[in-house]
Amino acid sequence: MRHDHTIHRHCHHNAWDNSLEPVLSIAPGKSVYFEVVDSSGGQLSPKSTTKDVPKLDFSNVNPVTGPVYIEGAKPGDTLEVEIESFGMQSWGWTAIIPGFGLLNDYFADPYLKIWDLKNNQSAEFLHGIEIPTNPFPGTIGVALPEPGQHSVVPPRKNGGNMDIRHLTKGTKLYLPVWVDGALFSVGDTHAAQGDGEVCGTAIEAPIDLQLRFKLHKGMQIQEPQFTTAPGPLTPGLDRKGYHATTGYGENLMDATRKSIMYMIEYLTSNYGITDQEAYALCSVAVDLKISEVVDIPHYLVSAFLPLNIFK
C-alpha cells in the first residue's frame, strides 16, 4: 500500500516527553510507514532462552517509534489514526517475567516461548495448539501535557500501552491532542493477544505498520476512543465455541485473578500442559470479560477460551 513517509526503527524513544524533537512533520491526510522494534527493545532474539528473561532491563522496554508532529494540531483537537496495514511477521516471543503480570505472586520463575510467525496467519504454541495471528500495536499515543518523562509501560489518557487487540487493520483510533503537533508515537506490536494480556506479554514481535492521520479541529475528547473495521471482533476464533471460567470477588481484581486461576486449572487438567504454559496461553488467547458489576460489591469476571485453537 502506498505511503508518503517512512520512519526507520532507530528513531524510537522510551518515554512520553513533550520536549522531544519530532523525527517527522506531516500535514493531516498523510500516510506514514513505521518500522517498529519489538517490546524488549531488541534485548531478546529468536535465539534467546529462558535464562535471558531475568536479564531484561525494564528501562529499555516498550520503545515507540516517533514522535511525529501533525501540522495544525492544537490542544482541544482530536487526532484520528487509521490503521492501514502491517508488514510481514517472522518471529515473536511470550515471556513470564518474575515480578510482573496478573499472577506474579504465583509464578516466580521465568518462562520464554519463541514463536515462528512466518505463516502470517497462525502460529503453533505447542503441538495441537495453534493461535490465529491478527497484528496490532500495543502502545500507541501522543505526548502528555505534563512536562518531563513519563513511562510508556502503562496506559494513560494519551493512549500509551493500552494493549487493545482490536486496533487491527481498518480500525480508526481517536486520540485527544494535549500539545502542539500532538507528537504521535507507536510501538509494542503484537501478533496475537487475549483481552487482558494476563501474564504481562502477548506474542511480542517486531512488525512494521502503516498509519494515516486526520485532524478533527475543536473536537475534544478526554481519553482515547476507536471504531473497529466491519466484521467480527474475534475472526478465526468463534467456529468451535468457547469454554469459560468465572471468578467472583468483592473487587474486580480478585474476580479477575480467580477467573484466570480457574482457567489455568482447566487447561492443565484437560490438555496436559504445565502451569506456566497454561498461564502464557491465557495471555495470548483467553479473553477476559466483565460479566457483572451492578450488584456492588459483588463482581463477576469471565475468562473465555476459544476452542478453535485446539487442533
DSSP characters for the chain? ---SEEE-TTSEESEE-TTSPPSEEE-TT-EEEE----TTTTS--TT--GGGGGG--GGGSS-EEEEEEETT--TT-EEEEEEEEE----EEEEEE-TT-STTTTT--S-EEEEEE-TTSSEEEEETTEEEEP--EEEEEE---SSSS-EESSSEETTEEE---TT--TT-EEEEE--STT--EEEEEEES---TT-TTS--SB----EEEEEEEETT---SS-EEEPPSS-SSTTTSTT-EEEEEEEESSHHHHHHHHHHHHHHHHHHHH---HHHHHHHHHHHPEEEEEE-SSTT-EEEEEEEEGGGB-
Q: pLDDT means per 10 residues in the chain (311 residues)?
A: 88 97 97 97 98 96 97 98 96 97 97 96 97 97 98 97 97 98 98 98 98 97 96 84 98 98 98 98 98 97 97 90
pLDDT digits (tens, 9 = 90+) for 53-95: 999 999 999 999 999 999 999 999 999 999 999 999 999 999 9
How many other CB atoms are found less than 10 A from the CB of residue 189?
Answer: 29
* Domain chopping of the chain, boundaries: 5-227, 242-309
What are the C-alpha distances in Å from 96 to residues 61, 73, 78, 160, 284?
15, 40, 36, 22, 12
pLDDT attached to residue 12? 95
> What's the confidence (pLDDT) of residue 34?
97
Right CATH for 5-227 from 3.40.50.620, 1.25.50.10, 2.40.50.140, 2.60.120.580: 2.60.120.580
Q: Which three cell numbers stand for residue 91?
A: 518471529
Give the pLDDT confidence score for residue 281 in this predicted structure: 98
Provide the percentage of residues in the chain whose pLDDT is more than 70: 100
pLDDT number for residue 3: 87
What pLDDT was estimated at residue 220?
93
- pLDDT of amino acid 47: 98
Superfamily of domain 242-309: Acetamidase/Formamidase-like domains (3.10.28.20)
Q: Would you state the pLDDT for residue 130?
A: 97
What tens digit of pLDDT does each residue of 211-240 get? 999 999 999 999 999 999 998 888 778 889
Q: 252-271 and 275-285 are packed helices; what angle lies between their axes, rounded to 10 degrees?
A: 120
CB 167 within 8 A of CB 64: no
**Count of Cβ atoms closer than 10 Å to residue 50 Cβ:** 14
Closest by alpha carbon to 135, among 95, 83, 196, 80?
83
Task: Determine the pLDDT at residue 192.
Answer: 97
